């Protein structure tokens, strides 16, 4: 493994986009925003940007320190350590949820005879392997897969356009249920998932080679990913209509099965599955990486890559015992969206920020 651990802005950009795509590309996001999901995504974007600026602010105040490092600096070791430890649990839990979702989707898509544990075990093997290879290899991998997923995206969109199933009238009425519904879907729903989850990158930013670019890169990535997500979801709605869109388990899959270009490109389902696998893989690996680095920071392990094994295995076990069924898993998703994510992605960082400001202004601490 290389000693020098550094990632380039391009790699960070790629990884953030892959992370944002995650499952959000395939799943209906915003829980019930229906036909106007694409608008909600755009509305949530400014909030995401502000949140990201907050993360980069911490990064600037405490250079070369990850989340757990400055949490302990700001609110003291006795309070900061447990909070950081909670973050490990949070990262592992969300990573496990992602793994579970991937397993469920794969099972329902085409592996109906394979036990879900096996599907998840395969995925977690790859996650552990990549984590062991270190951050450099992981982010370079992200760069390559970014190119792959963008080509898949261009190809699928081109196929959808060429198939002639696109009906822009499906997008109407824009904001049929009024401003409030759309805005409610944006905040907190889409603001938290997928944008709030960027809190993971607080453990990545210190590795960036050109520190001054962290803000610019991240904002660009948020802009690009929200535009692409919005475009994709608008496309989905335009093809199948708002009604089917909000009822489908994963609308992109439904959309792509409709595509038929010149009786030749008929079965692009594999693209969707591939995009799903790639997205979920990167999302859960970023979470696992975040968990591993916070753990490394808290417990001061010497060998950084070894933590990948326990973290990976715990994620795997949690993902199995998480829920008995898909409905149960989805029901839990509401709690996650309205309680867990806001606490860890928004409330704790904002509180940290406020405490930090107070201490800076009124405290005589260094």
Binding site for another protein (CB under 8 A): 1-2, 106, 110-111, 114, 119, 122-123, 125-126, 129-130, 133-134, 136-138, 140-141, 143-145, 263-264, 266-267, 269-270, 273-274, 277-278, 281
Number of other CB atoms surrounding residue 299 within 10 Å: 10
CB 269 to another protein: min, Å: 6
Query: Nearest distance from residue 162's CB to another protein, in Å?
Result: 17
Q: Please, which residue, 138 or 191, has the CB nearer to another protein?
A: 138
- 279, exposed or middle or buried, with CB in 10 Å at 0-12, 13-18, 19+? buried
Tokens of 73: 């600096």
Residue 267 Cα to chain centre, angstroms? 27
Q: How far is the CB of 137 from another protein (least distance, A)?
A: 4
Nearest to another protein of 2, 335 (CB atom): 2
At residue 25, what are phi and psi to the nearest 5 degrees? -70, -35
309 or 334, CB closer to another protein? 309
DSSP state of 172: P
Ramachandran sector of residue 178 (left: φ over 0; alpha: ψ -120 to 50; beta: rest): left
Q: Name which of 17 and 346 has its Cβ closer to another protein.
A: 17
Please, what is the minimum distance in Å from the beta carbon of residue 320 to another protein? Answer: 18
Helix, strand, or coil here: 144?
Answer: helix
CB neighbours of residue 122 within 10 Å: 12
Strands (DSSP E) found in the chain: none
3-class secondary-structure state, position 266? coil
Q: Which is nearer to another protein, 133 or 184 (CB)?
A: 133
Rounded to a whole number, what is the largest CA-CA distance in the chain?
73
Calculate the CA 286 to chain-centre distance: 8
> Looking at beta carbons only, is 210 or 335 nearer to another protein?
210
Residue showing tokens 């390559």: 144
Q: Is 2 exposed, middle or buried (0-12, 13-18, 19+ CB in 10 A)?
A: exposed
* Residue 90 Cβ vs another protein, minimum distance, rounded to whole Å: 25
Cβ proximity to another protein, 90 vs 253, nearer residue: 253
Cβ 331 to another protein, closest distance in Å?
27
Nearer to another protein, 94 or 141 (CB): 141
Quick one: 135 or 238, whose CB is closer to another protein? Answer: 135
CB of 11 to another protein, least distance (A): 10
Give SS3 for 243: helix
Give the helix ranges, DSSP H, for 76-172. 77-109, 116-163
Question: The dihedral of CA 85, 90, 95, 97: what is its sign?
Answer: positive
CB of 73 to another protein, least distance (A): 33
Closest CB 32 distance from another protein, rounded Å: 30
Rounded Cα distance between 366 and 354, Å, is 17
């Amino acid at each position: 493994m290389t000693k020098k651990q550094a990632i380039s802005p391009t790699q960070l950009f790629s990884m953030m986009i892959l992370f944002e795509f995650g499952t959000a590309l395939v799943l209906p996001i915003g829980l019930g925003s229906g036909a106007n999901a694409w608008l909600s995504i755009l509305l949530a974007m400014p909030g995401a940007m502000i949140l990201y600026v907050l993360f980069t602010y911490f990064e600037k105040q405490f250079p070369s320190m990850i989340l757990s490092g400055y949490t302990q600096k700001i609110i003291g070791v006795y309070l900061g350590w447990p909070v950081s430890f909670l973050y490990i649990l949070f990262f592992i839990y969300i990573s496990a949820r992602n793994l579970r979702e991937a397993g469920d989707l794969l099972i329902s898509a085409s592996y109906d005879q394979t036990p879900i544990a096996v599907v998840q075990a395969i995925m977690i093997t790859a996650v552990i392997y990549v984590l062991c290879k270190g951050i450099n290899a992981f982010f370079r991998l992200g760069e390559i897969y970014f190119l792959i997923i963008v080509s898949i995206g261009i190809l699928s969109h081109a196929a959808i356009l060429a198939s002639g199933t696109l009906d822009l009238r499906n997008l109407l009425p824009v904001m049929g249920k009024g401003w409030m519904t759309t805005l409610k879907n944006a905040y907190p729903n889409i603001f938290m998932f997928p944008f709030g989850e960027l809190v993971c990158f607080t453990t990545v930013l210190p590795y960036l080679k050109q520190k001054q670019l962290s803000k610019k890169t991240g904002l660009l990535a948020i802009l690009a990913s929200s535009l692409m997500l919005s475009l994709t979801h608008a496309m989905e709605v335009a093809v199948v209509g708002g009604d089917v869109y909000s009822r489908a388990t994963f609308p992109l899959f439904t959309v792509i099965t409709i595509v038929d270009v010149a009786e030749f490109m008929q079965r692009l389902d594999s693209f969707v599955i591939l995009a799903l696998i790639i997205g979920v893989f990167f999302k859960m690996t970023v979470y696992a990486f975040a968990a591993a680095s916070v753990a490394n920071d808290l417990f001061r392990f010497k060998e950084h890559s070894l933590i990948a094994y326990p973290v990976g295995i715990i994620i795997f076990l949690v993902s199995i015992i998480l829920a008995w069924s898909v409905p149960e898993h989805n029901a839990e998703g509401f709690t996650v969206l309205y309680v867990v994510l806001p606490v860890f992605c928004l409330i704790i960082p904002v509180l940290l920020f406020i405490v930090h400001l107070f201490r800076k202004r009124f405290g005589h601490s260094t």
